[in-house]
Amino acid sequence: MKYKALGKTGYEISVMGIGGIPIQRVGQEVAEQVIAAALELGVNFLDTARGYTDSEEKFGYALRGVRDRFVLATKTPARDAEGARRDLETSLRMLQTDSVELYQLHNVSTKAELEQALAPGGALEAILQAQQEGLVKHIGVTGHNDQILLKAVETGLFATVQAPVNAVERQFIPVFEAAKARGMGTIAMKPLAGGSFMHPQLALRQLLAEPLLDVIIPGVDSVEQMRQNAGLASDWQPLNDEERPLLEQEVADLGKGFCRRCEYCLPCPQGIKIPQVFILEGYATRYNLAEWAVGRYASLDSDASACAECGICESRCPYSLPIREMLKRAHKNLKP
């Protein structure tokens, strides 16, 4: 495994880390197997969040006895001091630890949110207090809005910045350039664009060649994924002349308006598993598995036609996707 310094934090972290969203979909036994494999393979950076349902709890149990082998990051969506402190205390309890190496403001998306978090009585005030108490070692910020994240970086108040970077989403590169100029650590989330690539290893290898990135954190929910990811990080090669066009074609096919499977849109009041609908649509329209996808779609408890167009999902989506229209399109593509 190869390692890099995480900015000025003093931590040497594996260039391949673990993203904590997918672990929500599997049981405790799998979480423990993933952590055991990570230890074996030299992966030592783990990112989760208070908002990822039981992700912290599963990792907390899995880390018992090996907690000191990981640089652990989690996040709060709170913008006020009281909420941030409450989230931190809950996270420490779920993770079964006395402190975390990195505590991040989660998904800061607007100027108003950033200003509230940094103002007196805001989330940063509580996190700084927790840092003085030794509960938090370093403070970071994450988001899906490049202009807002750039403002956050320019404050000089954070040790790290985390943003989605992959073959499709390159708009955060200037943010990481600004962060590097200030000695901040850089964390690339969504390196596989929510599992949208047909050639995921090519997408990861492209990012491993990017000097601006300290660590990339694809989501992991199996030992097989952990081994594949770690194997790439240990012995990767730049894309060759045959591979580069394959990835470029995928980028062109995906465009910008696609679901990254972050699941922030859930739960849907009508019970629609929104990311799953879009996954099935992709199998039908991009992967030539229409018959299989249509059959799976027919077995869903609530398909896209159940959408009441309340718009709650769109208000939660960090990518501002027109989910209601996308559901209509998916239903048309998947309905026999």
Q: What's the pLDDT score for residue 27?
A: 96
- Is the domain 3-246 a CATH 3.20.20.100 member? yes
User: Residue 287: what pLDDT?
Assistant: 67
CB neighbours of residue 276 within 10 Å: 16
For residues 160 and 186, the answer to whether their CB atoms sit within 8 Å is yes
Q: What is the 3-state secondary structure (H, E, C) of 3-14?
A: EEECCCCCCEEE
Enter the tokens of residue 37: 């494999």
The whole-model pTM stands at 0.87
**Residue 258 clears pLDDT 80, i.e. is over it:** yes
> Are residues 43 and 226 in contact, defined by beta-carbon separation less than 8 angstroms?
yes
Compute the distance between CA of residue 313 and CA of residue 272 in angstroms, rounded to an integer.
Answer: 10
pLDDT band at 256 (very low <50, low <70, confident <90, very high): confident
Instruction: Let me know: does 200 contact 176? Beta carbons within 8 Å.
Output: no
Structure tokens at 18: 């673990």
From CA 79, how far away is CA 94, in angstroms rounded? 21
pLDDT at 194 > cutoff 80:
no
* 260's tokens: 């990254």
Domain boundaries, the chain: 3-246, 274-334
Per-residue model confidence (pLDDT) at position 101:
98
Each residue of 280-317: b (16+ CB within 10 Å) or e?
bbbbbbeeeebeebbebbeebeebbeebeeeebbbeeb
d(CA 81, CA 263): 26
Amino acid of residue 302: S
Distance CA 163, CA 140 (A): 11
**Over residues 25-48, mean pLDDT:** 97
